[in-house]
Chain A
Amino acid sequence: MNDTIRDVVFVDGVRTPFGKAGKLYEETRADDMIIRCIRTLLRRNPELPPERVDEVALAATTQIGDQGLTLGRSAALLAGLPRSVPGYSIDRMCAGAMTAVTSVSSAIAARQYDVAIAGGVESMSNHPMGEGVDPNPRIVAEKLVDTDALVMGNTAENLHDLFPAVTKERADAYAVGTQRRYAAALEKLKADFATMAARSSEEGWTVATADQLPRPETTMEGLAELRTPFRPHGKVTAGTAAPLTDGATACLVADAETVAELGLDASMRMVGFAFAGVDPETMGVGPIPSTEKALARAGLTIDDIGLIEINEAFAVQVLAFLDHFKIADDDPRVNPWGGAIAMGHPLASSGVRLMTQLAREFAEHPEVRYGITTMCVGLGQGGTVIWENPNFEGEQ
C-alpha cells in the first residue's frame, strides 16, 4: 500500500453566464445548467476519457425539485457520462461547490480517486432563499442563535456594527471598484463561459453568452441613494450585496500524475484548505478564521499570498477580512477581475467560480506563487483553499 499523499491539481473550470433571478433563467432547470457545464468541461478537455471520472460531486443549497434527486448522480447520467461514473450531492450553502472540490480533493490526495468533477448550481429563481426551511423551535426558545442569523442581510448589518471602521462609504467605494474591475476583465472572464440556452414561453429561446447582472455604470452617488432594505437607516444596500442569481459551475480536479498521463493541463495545485465556524449572527467574518487556519497548517502567512479571490456576499464582509489582514481596500491582489457584487452569487456554485478565476489570474501572474479562494457561509462558517501557481517563475 502506498501511504504517501498525492498532489491535487485544479485542471479547468467553467460556468454558465449568471442570470438575474426571475429573469434570464426563470424557466430553465437548474440541473440543465450544471449538465451544460459538465458537458462543456468534457468538450474542453477531450484528452480525458469520461469513464476515467471517479466521482461527480455537485452542490446545491436547496436540494429539492430540479436540484434534488441526488444531483451529482442524476446530472452525471443526464450529461451523458458513462453509467459507471458515480456521483453525489453536497451542501454547505454558499460554500457548496468549494466543499465539493475539497471533498474530492481529499480523496484524490488519499489515492481513492484519480479524476473528479466538482461543481455547484443554484437557481434562486426556482429556489428562493429559505425555501422549505423548518428552523428548529429551540433556536428561539433557547435563544441559541439570534434569528438575524437566518437573514443574510441582517448579518451584514451586524458586521458594520461589529466593525465600525468599515463605513458605508468604504463599502460603496469597494462596490464601485469591483464593478470596474469586472468590466475591465470581461473578455477574459468569458473564456470560461459555457453558453447556456434559456427558453421563455413568452419570448422563445435565447442562448446566454454574458452575465446579466453587472452594473459597470455604478457610482458612489448612485449607491448613496439606494435604500437599506435590511435595517432602516442601515448601511447595506443592493449595491453592496451580491444579487440574487441563477447559475452553475463545474471543474475538473485530478491528481498530478494522472494529469500528466492524460496530457491535461494543471492550472493550480492545491496547497491546503480549512473551514471554520463563527457566530451565525455575523457569518461574514467566516473567511478570517478559515484563512488563518489554512495558512497556519500550510506554514504560510498572508504575506505569501499574491492573489485573493474572496466571494463578495457583501462588501462589508470583504472589508472586514481585508482589515483583519491589513490589506488595503483597493489592493490589486484582491478580486482583480471583479467579484460577486458585479457578476452575482448563485449560492452553492460560487466556490468553483472563484477557483476558475484564480486559475486564469495565476496564468497571467507567474510572479505570484500562492493564492487563496475564500468565502463566508450562512449560519456562521468560512472556507479557504490555498493554491499554488504552477506558472510561478520565482525562487522555489
Chain B
Amino acid sequence: MSSFPVDLPEFPDEVVTEAYVRFVEPPGLGGRAALITLDNGYDHTKPTSMGPAGMRNLWAALDEALASDAKFVAVTGKPFIFLAGADIKMMPLLESREQGLAMAQAGHVLYKRLKDASVPTFAFINGTALGGGMELALHCHYRTVSASAVALGLPEVSIGLIPGWGGSQILPNLIGPEAAAQVIIGNPLNQNKMLRGPDLTKLGIADAQFEAADFIEESVAWATAVVNGEIAVERPEIDRGESWQAVVAGARKLVDEKIHNASPAAMKALDLLELARTASFEEGSLAEDEALADLEMAPEFKTSLYAFNLVRQLGKRPEGAPSPGLAKEIGKVGVVGAGLMAGQIALMFARRLEVPVVMTDLDAERAERGLEYVRGEIDKLEAKGRASRLKAAKLRSLVSASADKGVYADCDLVIEAVFEELKVKQAVFAEVEQVVSEECLLVTNTSGLSVTAMASKLARPERLVGMHFFNPVAVMPLVEVIATSSTDEETLATAYAVAKQLKKTAVGSADRPAFIVNRLLGRMLAEVTGAVDEGTPVEVADVALDRLGLPMRPFALLELVGLQVAWHLCAHLNEDLGPRFPLSANLRRLAEAEVPVFDPEAKGRGRLTEAGRALLEFGDKASTAGEVEHRVLAGLAEEVALMLDEGVVPGPRQIDLAMILGAGFPFWLGGLTPYLDRAGISTEVSGKPFAAMRE
C-alpha cells in the first residue's frame, strides 16, 4: 500500500466515503475484475462526496485493485448515487490558497491513476455524478450510465468554481468544445440545469447506457465484452483546429451577453476551455490547479457558497414559521377571480395539492373564460408530456369555475387574485367571509398592499394571511408569506405548509409596503428612472448595473413586469414610503402611452421604440453609468438597512434568499447584501457592513 502523495488538511466532520474493492468473475472474462464501490454509509438522501479521508480511501482501493490480477477496474456508487463531487462542506474551511491548491492537486493525482492505469478502467455511473464525481468518471477509459440516473453534470461554475479535477480539460477533448461549453458553462448559468442518464449518452460522455433494473450486471457484462474486444467503443474525432477557437469565441460572446462577464468562474472556465485545445494533460491539470486555488480565494466563491447554503438550508426551513404540526389539511381551494394570475394560481394548487379548486368571477362568462384558460394550460402540459394523460384528466376534473361564490362554502382555503386595489380586495373578502366556514383560511396574493388593512374589515381577521406569488407562478420558486399582527399560528403554519406542498420556498415578511422583493426592485427602478428623468440617456442608465450580472437589465425588467404594474408599484411605494421612491414622470408617460413603447422585434430586451423614446423628457443633469450604478447600490443599501430596522425580515439572509429566488439575483453576488458589503456600499451608507447580521 502506498501513502497518499499530497498533504491534505484534516476535516474532523468529514462524512467519510469508503471505497470498497471486490473482485468479480464475469462469465467470459477468463479472470477477475475489480469492482470499487464508493459509499459513505448513508442512504441516497446523504450523497457520497470526496473529502481528504475519502480520497485516501480511494487511493488505497486503487492500490489494491491495480496491484491485483484484475483484467479491468470499475468504479460505481451506492444506490442512486455515483459520487456527488468534492465535499462542499469543507470548502469554506480551506484556510489558505496553499490548502486550496493542495486539494486541487490531490484530485488530479488521485484520478490520474484511473486514466494512466495499464488495465482498462470503467465508471459505472449508476446515479448522481456531479463535479468531482463526474470528473472521476471522465478519467476512466470507458463509462456506462444508468438510464434512470439524474443529477449529472459539472455545476462548479454555478458556485464560483471550475471543474478543476480534470473536467475542463478532458470533457472538451471527449465531446468537443461546443457541447463541453454547454455542460461546463451554459448549464450552470441556466438555473444550474442538470443532465440525466440519456443526456450523457447523447452527448457522448457515456459509451453505453443500461436500464437501472440490472445496470451493474449489464455494465459488468459490457465491460467484459469491451475488454475481450467483442465490443469496439467508437468516439468521434474532435476537431482541434479553428472551429474550436470559433466555439470559444461564441461562448465568450454568450457569457458577455447573458451576465456581462460578472462571474469570474465562468471567465476562467472559458479560458480553460480554450487551453484544452492545445495543452497537454499535465499543462491542463496545472492550469486547473491554479484556477481552482485562485477561485477558492475569490470573494465570488464565498458569496456563492453562502447563497448555495441559503437556498439549501434556509430555503428548506423558513425562519419564523410556526410548528408544521399546527397546519390544517386543505381539502378544497377557492380562487377569487378568473383572470390570468387567478388561473395560474388555480392550476398550481390543483397540480400540487391535487384537491378540488374552484374559481369564481363576476359573471358566468368571465368565469368560463378563466376556466378555458386553465384547461388550455392543462392541454399544453399534456402535449409537452409534463402531465400524463391521467394526470391531465385529473387536473381537468379538479378545476371548476362559477359565478356564484356559494361554491366556497366547503373550501378550506380561499385565495384572492383580484385587481390590486385595497377597496376591491376588502369588498371581496367581505363577501367571501359570508359564505365560507369558520375554519376556512383567507389568503391574499397582493404584491404589496397592506394585509393589515384588509384584515381590519374582517369579522375574523386571525385567519387572513398574505401569500405573494411571483409571475409566472408556475416557474418562480419564491412565495412571500405575510402575517399581520392578528394572524393566528394555525393560519400561518398552514400558509407555510401550503407553500411547501406547492414546492415553493417561503420567506416570511412583515406587513410592510411591497414586502421584500418588490420593494427592493422598486427602489432599483426608482433610482434608474430617476437618473433618466434627470438627464441620463437610457442607454447609459440601462447598462449601469451590468457589472453585477443581474438576469435582466432595468428596462427589460420594466418590459417583463409591465409598465402599468411598475408605475402602480412605484406610485404606491411613493405614497407609503415617501420621497425615497420619487414619482418618475418618464415612467408615468411610458405607462400611460397609447402606442407600443417597447420594440416587439427585441421582445424581452427592454428596447424602446422611436415612439417610446419620443415620450421621454430629460433634465440637464446626466450621470455616468458608474454614477448610476453607485446611486442604485447606495439606494439598495439604504433600503435594506431600513427594512432591517423596520423588521420586515429577521436579517439580511432572508433578503438575500428572497432576491435570489424572487428576482433571480445571482449566486456570485450572494443575493444582494454580500455584494453590497464587498463593494463597500453598506459601510458607506450605514457605517457598517451587513456581514455581522448574516451570521
- Chain A residues with CB under 8 Å of B318's CB are none
- Chain A residues with CB under 8 Å of B36's CB are 204
**Nearest residue in A to B76 (C-beta to C-beta)?**
A205
Segment touching A, from B17-25, B353-361, B570-578, B599-607: B17-25
| B37 contacts A195, C-beta separation under 8 Å | no
Listed by A's residue number, 29 A-B pairs whose Cβ atoms lie within 8 Å are A39-B213, A78-B213, A79-B213, A80-B213, A190-B27, A193-B27, A194-B217, A195-B220, A197-B214, A197-B217, A197-B220, A199-B78, A201-B41, A204-B18, A204-B21, A204-B22, A204-B39, A205-B20, A205-B22, A205-B35, A205-B37, A205-B76, A206-B35, A207-B24, A207-B216, A207-B217, A207-B220, A209-B24, A209-B26
Flag whether A210 is at the interface (Cβ < 8 A).
yes
Q: Nearest Cβ distance between residue B664 and chain A, in whole angstroms?
A: 40
Flag whether B211 is at the interface (Cβ < 8 A).
yes
Flag whether B221 is at the interface (Cβ < 8 A).
yes
- Contacts A201-B41, A204-B35 given; does A39 touch B214 at CB 8 Å: yes
| B213 contacts A35, C-beta separation under 8 Å | yes
| B221 contacts A195, C-beta separation under 8 Å | yes
- Chain A residues with CB under 8 Å of B21's CB are 204
Residues of B79-93 whose CB lies within 8 A of A: 79
Given A194-B217, A197-B214, A206-B35, 18 new contacts (CB under 8 A) = A36-B213, A36-B217, A39-B213, A39-B214, A80-B211, A80-B213, A190-B27, A195-B27, A199-B79, A201-B39, A202-B20, A203-B37, A204-B21, A205-B22, A205-B216, A206-B24, A207-B217, A209-B26
CA distance A273 to B510 in the complex (A): 79
Q: Nearest Cβ distance between residue A258 and chain B, in whole angstroms?
A: 26
Which residue numbers of B lie inside 8 Å of A, CB to CB? 18, 20-22, 24-27, 35-37, 39, 41, 76, 78-79, 211, 213-217, 220-221
| B213 contacts A204, C-beta separation under 8 Å | no
CA distance A290 to B220 in the complex (A): 43
- Chain B residues with CB under 8 Å of A35's CB are 213-214
CA distance A199 to B217 in the complex (A): 12
CA distance A210 to B216 in the complex (A): 16
| B25 contacts A36, C-beta separation under 8 Å | no
Flag whether A196 is at the interface (Cβ < 8 A).
yes
CA distance A55 to B214 in the complex (A): 22
- Chain A residues with CB under 8 Å of B220's CB are 195, 197, 207
| B35 contacts A207, C-beta separation under 8 Å | yes
- Contacts A195-B27, A199-B79 given; does A206 touch B214 at CB 8 Å: no
Q: Nearest Cβ distance between residue A56 and chain B, in whole angstroms?
A: 15
- Chain B residues with CB under 8 Å of A205's CB are 20, 22, 35, 37, 76, 216
In this complex, the member of A32, A197, A199 whose beta carbon has the largest number of chain B beta carbons within 10 angstroms is A197
In this complex, the member of B18, B22, B26, B76 whose beta carbon has the largest number of chain A beta carbons within 10 angstroms is B22
Q: Nearest Cβ distance between residue B362 and chain A, in whole angstroms?
A: 46
CA distance A207 to B22 in the complex (A): 9
Q: Nearest Cβ distance between residue A211 and chain B, in whole angstroms?
A: 13
**Nearest residue in B to A208 (C-beta to C-beta)?**
B24
**Nearest residue in A to B36 (C-beta to C-beta)?**
A204
Which residue numbers of A lie inside 8 Å of B, CB to CB? 32, 35-36, 39-40, 78-80, 190, 193-197, 199, 201-207, 209-210
Checking A39, A78, A204, A207 against B26 with a beta-carbon cut-off of 8 angstroms, the contacting residue is A207
- Chain B residues with CB under 8 Å of A197's CB are 214-217, 220
Checking A80, A190, A194, A204 against B20 with a beta-carbon cut-off of 8 angstroms, the contacting residue is A204
| B27 contacts A204, C-beta separation under 8 Å | no
Q: Nearest Cβ distance between residue B390 and chain A, in whole angstroms?
A: 12
- Contacts A199-B79, A209-B25, A209-B26 given; does A204 touch B37 at CB 8 Å: yes
- Chain B residues with CB under 8 Å of A194's CB are 217
In this complex, the member of A36, A194, A196, A205 whose beta carbon has the largest number of chain B beta carbons within 10 angstroms is A205
Which 9 pairs across A and B sit closest by C-beta, in order of nearness? A204-B37, A204-B20, A197-B216, A206-B22, A207-B24, A205-B37, A195-B217, A207-B220, A197-B217
CA distance A210 to B23 in the complex (A): 13
Q: Nearest Cβ distance between residue B70 and chain A, in whole angstroms?
A: 13
Q: Nearest Cβ distance between residue B687 and chain A, in whole angstroms?
A: 56
- Chain B residues with CB under 8 Å of A202's CB are 20
Q: Nearest Cβ distance between residue B147 and chain A, in whole angstroms?
A: 10
- Chain A residues with CB under 8 Å of B211's CB are 80
In this complex, the member of B20, B217, B220 whose beta carbon has the largest number of chain A beta carbons within 10 angstroms is B217
CA distance A199 to B211 in the complex (A): 17
Q: Nearest Cβ distance between residue B434 and chain A, in whole angstroms?
A: 49
Q: Nearest Cβ distance between residue B373 and chain A, in whole angstroms?
A: 33
| B20 contacts A203, C-beta separation under 8 Å | yes
CA distance A35 to B211 in the complex (A): 12
CA distance A324 to B185 in the complex (A): 78
- Chain A residues with CB under 8 Å of B24's CB are 206-207, 209
Q: Nearest Cβ distance between residue B220 and chain A, in whole angstroms?
A: 5
CA distance A202 to B35 in the complex (A): 14
**Nearest residue in B to A194 (C-beta to C-beta)?**
B217
**Nearest residue in A to B38 (C-beta to C-beta)?**
A204
| B25 contacts A210, C-beta separation under 8 Å | yes
- Chain B residues with CB under 8 Å of A32's CB are 213
**Nearest residue in B to A78 (C-beta to C-beta)?**
B213
- Chain B residues with CB under 8 Å of A195's CB are 26-27, 217, 220-221
CA distance A340 to B21 in the complex (A): 31
- Chain A residues with CB under 8 Å of B25's CB are 209-210
Q: Nearest Cβ distance between residue B108 and chain A, in whole angstroms?
A: 25
- Chain A residues with CB under 8 Å of B213's CB are 32, 35-36, 39, 78-80
CA distance A215 to B215 in the complex (A): 31
CA distance A197 to B221 in the complex (A): 11
Q: Nearest Cβ distance between residue A47 and chain B, in whole angstroms?
A: 20
Q: Nearest Cβ distance between residue B258 and chain A, in whole angstroms?
A: 41
CA distance A228 to B211 in the complex (A): 47
Q: Nearest Cβ distance between residue B392 and chain A, in whole angstroms?
A: 18
Q: Nearest Cβ distance between residue B169 and chain A, in whole angstroms?
A: 29
| B27 contacts A196, C-beta separation under 8 Å | no
- Chain A residues with CB under 8 Å of B35's CB are 204-207
**Nearest residue in A to B42 (C-beta to C-beta)?**
A201
- Chain A residues with CB under 8 Å of B215's CB are 197
| B217 contacts A196, C-beta separation under 8 Å | yes
- Chain B residues with CB under 8 Å of A79's CB are 213
CA distance A205 to B213 in the complex (A): 15
- Chain B residues with CB under 8 Å of A39's CB are 213-214
- Chain A residues with CB under 8 Å of B79's CB are 199
- Contacts A204-B37, A205-B76 given; does A36 touch B214 at CB 8 Å: yes
Q: Nearest Cβ distance between residue B537 and chain A, in whole angstroms?
A: 63
- Chain A residues with CB under 8 Å of B26's CB are 195, 207, 209
Q: Nearest Cβ distance between residue B253 and chain A, in whole angstroms?
A: 45
- Contacts A39-B213, A195-B217 given; does A203 touch B22 at CB 8 Å: yes
- Chain A residues with CB under 8 Å of B27's CB are 190, 193, 195, 209
Q: Nearest Cβ distance between residue A23 and chain B, in whole angstroms?
A: 14
CA distance A36 to B220 in the complex (A): 14
Q: Nearest Cβ distance between residue A269 and chain B, in whole angstroms?
A: 29
CA distance A250 to B27 in the complex (A): 20
**Nearest residue in B to A38 (C-beta to C-beta)?**
B213
CA distance A197 to B22 in the complex (A): 12
Q: Nearest Cβ distance between residue A200 and chain B, in whole angstroms?
A: 8
CA distance A203 to B61 in the complex (A): 12
In this complex, the member of A40, A203, A206 whose beta carbon has the largest number of chain B beta carbons within 10 angstroms is A206
